[in-house]
Amino acid sequence: MDFKRSPLLLLCIGFLLGIVVAEAVYYLFSPIVLADGSVAVVTDRDYYPKVSELLAGAQGSIHMVMFSANYQAQYSDSSVTLLLGDLVAAHNRGVDVMVVMDSWPEGNDKTANYLSKNNIPVRMLNWTGTTHAKLIIIDGQIVVVGSTNWSYHSIDKNHEANVVISDERIAREFEPYFQGIFEQAG
């Protein structure tokens, strides 16, 4: 077939190629949500608004394991301070908030003091390994798990990858894991 003599064919191929490229761009740069809404991919700067929204909507419990959470009182409008404020607000409205952090990262002690002053049970795990998990279980139904620490660089600068899983079965699988770490830190 002589493509030079078939401008309509070239136009159709260009149109189809444009659709394929547009779809690829959409999927590369849009949060991924499964058709049933059960899993959403949350990356980079989308972490703070999504997790803040989930914490604000919590009604029964927020159980969290966080390797590094760096509270800095002088930065009251930082993403980390605002997320910690979301935990305090949830606790103040009657949500069962419990937090475990590794004792090693600098700043975790300040975060533990801030949460404790706001009557949130927080435990620091000090053992021969590292509690490197970044896990939040909300209302026994939603799980946030991934690479994002609660630190300035992790939330506001780094490339980070997380998933939000809205599935009670998955939350039930993670809850004993959380409880075991919380008890170990006791």
SS3 35: coil
25 and 51 belong to one structural domain = no
Say whether both 126 and 39 belong to one domain. yes
Q: Where are the alpha helices (H) located in the chain, listed in sequence order?
A: 7-29, 47-57, 79-92, 108-117, 152-156, 168-185
Residue 50 and residue 20 share a domain? no
The structure tokens 């608004």 sit at 49
- Say if residue 25 is in the same domain as residue 40: no
Tell me, yes or no, whether 72 and 163 share the same domain. Answer: yes
pLDDT at position 113 is 96
Asked if residue 159 and residue 94 are part of one domain, the reply reads: yes
pLDDT in tens, the chain (186 residues): 555 556 666 555 666 666 655 555 455 455 555 556 689 999 999 999 999 999 999 999 999 999 999 999 999 999 999 999 999 999 999 999 999 999 988 899 999 999 999 999 999 998 778 889 999 999 999 999 999 999 999 999 999 999 999 999 999 999 999 999 999 997
- Residues 19 and 52 grouped into a single domain: no
Q: Which residues contact 144 (CB under 8 A, 6 or more apart)?
A: 42, 51, 54, 135, 136, 138, 162, 163, 164, 165
Answer yes or no: do 39 and 10 share one domain. no
CB 56 within 8 A of CB 92: no
Please return the burial class of 186, using the count of CB atoms within 10 Å of its CB with bins 0-12, 13-18 and 19+.
exposed
* pLDDT for position 172: 95
Do both 61 and 117 map to the same domain?
A: yes
In order of 32, 35, 94, 153, 158, the CA distances from 142 in angstroms are 16, 17, 18, 25, 24
pLDDT confidence of residue 49: 97
User: Is the same domain home to 100 and 78?
Assistant: yes
Same domain? For 137 and 54 the reply is yes
Q: Which domain holds residue 8?
A: 1-30
CATH code for the domain of 59? 3.30.870.10
Which strand ranges, in their side-by-side order, compose the sheet holding 142-146? 39-43, 161-166, 142-146, 134-138, 61-66, 96-102, 122-125
Residue 12 tokens read as: 């159709």
| Count of the separate structural domains present in the chain | 2
